Amino acid sequence: MNILFASSEVAPFIKTGGLADVAGSLPQALARKGHDVRVILPLYEGIKDEWRSQMTYLQNFNVHLAWRTPYCGLFELQKDGVTYYFVDNEYYFKRGGIYGHYDDGERFAFFSRAVIESPGHLGFWPDVIHCNDWQTALVPIYLLEERQRVPELINAKSVFTIHNIEYQGRYGREVLVDLFGLPDSYFHERMLSYYGDVNLLKGAIYAADYVTTVSPTYASELRYDFYAHGLAGVVSDNAHKIRGILNGIDVERYDPWKDQKLPMSFSAKQMKGKKACKAALQEMSGLEVRPDVPVIGCVSRLVSHKGFDLVVEALPEIMGMDVQMVVLGTGDWAYEEAFRNAAWQYPNRFSAQIMYSDAFSTAIYGGADIFLMPSIAEPCGLSQMIAMRYGTLPVVRETGGLKDSVQPYNQYTGEGTGFTFANADKGDMVWALRQAVDLYHGDQKAWKGLQKTAMTTDFSWDRSAGDYLEIYGWVTGK
C-alpha cells in the first residue's frame, strides 16, 4: 500500500511534543511491514544542518491557495526505510518557533495544499493520506474536491488522527474563501461551521474517511464535554468511523540495556545498573545520595491539564513521606515558582529542574523509582511507557492512554505495572502515591515483580501498526 503521512512535526528533525514521536516512529513500523510510506513536513528554520546536509533538492512548483500561488520547494531524505519530504517556503517557515505566529492558519493551509498537490508532482499516488491534528486538518477537506480534479486520486482515502482535541484551529468565517480557498458551501453544520466561525478540526472529523485517536479510552472520553472541548456532539455524530489506537514508543531508542546516555545499563534480568543510575540522578539533582529512599520523578510540561494543581496542593503530604522528588519541565510560571519554592523548603529532598533537557529526562527515566503523571486529560501519553521500560513505576490518573497502558497493582495477585487512581482529587492521588511508597519500603520482592512486568510489557509500534493497517484496509478495500 502507498501511504502519505502528513505531520507538522516529526522526530528527530523537529519536535515540540508527542506528535513528533509518533510521526517519527509509526511510519517506520508501517514500512517494516512492507508498505511504501512517505512522510511530509514543513522545512522549518529550526531543522538542523545535520539533517539539511542529508537532503536532496527535488523540484519546485506553485501551489493553489485561494487567489495566491505560493512557491513550494520539495527536498527529500531517506531514513530507516521511509522517505521524508520537506516542504520549503521561506516566507512561511523561516521563522523562530514552529507555532504561535499570527498567520498559523495560512501557514498550515499552505502546507496542506502542498500535501495535496505533491503526489501529482512526485508521481507517487497514495492509497491513504494519513493526517494529524489541526495543522493538517484541511487535507481531508481539500481531498474531497481534489479527487474530482485529479483522476489518480479518485480512490485515495484520508485517515485523520486526533492527538489532542484541545487545539482545533478556529478562525473567523472570512478566512474560508479568501485564505483557505474553499467555496462558501463548506460553511455548514456538518463540515466547517462552528458557532459562526470556521473550525478545522471539526471539518476534518466530518471530511475524513476514518478518524482515529491515540488511545481507546480517550476515544470514549471524547463523547463527554469535559474532554471534548466543545466537540462532543461532533464526535458522537461520527462515532461510526472513530476508533482509539494506543500509541507505541520507539522501543529500540528507549531501551535501558542499549541507552548510551545512562551512566550504567540495565535490563529486566540484570537490574544492578539501575542503582548506579539512581545514585547519578540524586547526585545531578542535588538530592542526598541514599539508595533506600524512593525517588519520585516528573517529566512534563508544567501546565494545568497535566494535573499539576494536584501535585502542588499535595506537596506537604508527599514530602511528609520518606521520599525524594525531582521535577523536570517548563511551563506556567505559577507551577515553576511552586516547585522552586519546594526546592528551597526541602533541601536535598526536592529538586526543581525548570528546563527542557533530553539528558535530564533520560536520567529521571533511568534513575527514579516512581514516575508521577496525574494528568486531568491525557490522549495517550508516552512518558509513562518510557518510564515503565526503564523500571520506573508510574503513578497515574485513570484517564486516556494512562488508563490503557498502566495496569494497576493488585495486592492479592501481585500483578500490575504501576499504581492508579480514578478521580482528579488530591486525596486520591496521595493515596496512590502512598501505596507505591509503602510497597517500596515494605515489600521489595513485590516491587521487583512489578518492575519486571513493566519492563517486559510490549509497548512497541508493531502491535498498533497492525491496527492502522486494518483501518487503511477497510477504507481502501485493499
Q: Which residues bind ligand GLC (CB under 6 A)?
A: 17-19, 22, 163-164, 214, 247, 378-382, 401
Judged by beta carbon, residue 293 or residue 454, the one nearer ligand GLC is 454
Judged by beta carbon, residue 118 or residue 300, the one nearer ligand GLC is 300
CB of 16 to ligand GLC, least distance (A): 9
Helix ranges (DSSP H) in 216-357: 216-221, 225-228, 232-237, 272-285, 308-319, 333-345
Centroid of chain to Cα 132: 11
The amino acid occupying position 161 is: T
Judged by beta carbon, residue 19 or residue 293, the one nearer ligand GLC is 19
User: For residue 277, how many other CB atoms are within 10 A of its CB?
Assistant: 26
Residue 231 half-sphere exposure toward CB, CA atoms < 13 A: 30
Q: How far apart are CA 167 and CA 189, in angstroms?
A: 19
CB of 161 to ligand GLC, least distance (A): 8
**8 Å CB contact between 179 and 106:** yes
Exposure string over 173-194, b if 16+ CB within 10 A, otherwise e: eebbeebbbbeeebbeeebbbb
Judged by beta carbon, residue 136 or residue 164, the one nearer ligand GLC is 164
CB of 131 to ligand GLC, least distance (A): 13
- Which residue's C-alpha cell is 479510552? 217
CB of 378 to ligand GLC, least distance (A): 5
CB of 183 to ligand GLC, least distance (A): 32
Question: Cα dihedral angle (245, 246, 252, 253), rounded to 10 degrees?
Answer: 120
Q: How far apart are CA 407 and CA 404, in angstroms?
A: 8
Judged by beta carbon, residue 281 or residue 402, the one nearer ligand GLC is 402
Judged by beta carbon, residue 17 or residue 331, the one nearer ligand GLC is 17
Could you give phi then psi for residue 460, rounded to 5 degrees?
Answer: -75, 160
CB of 22 to ligand GLC, least distance (A): 5
Q: Which residue is nearest to ligand GLC (CB)?
A: 18
Judged by beta carbon, residue 25 or residue 453, the one nearer ligand GLC is 25
Give which of 422, 408, 478 is closest to 450, Cα–Cα: 408
CB of 305 to ligand GLC, least distance (A): 8
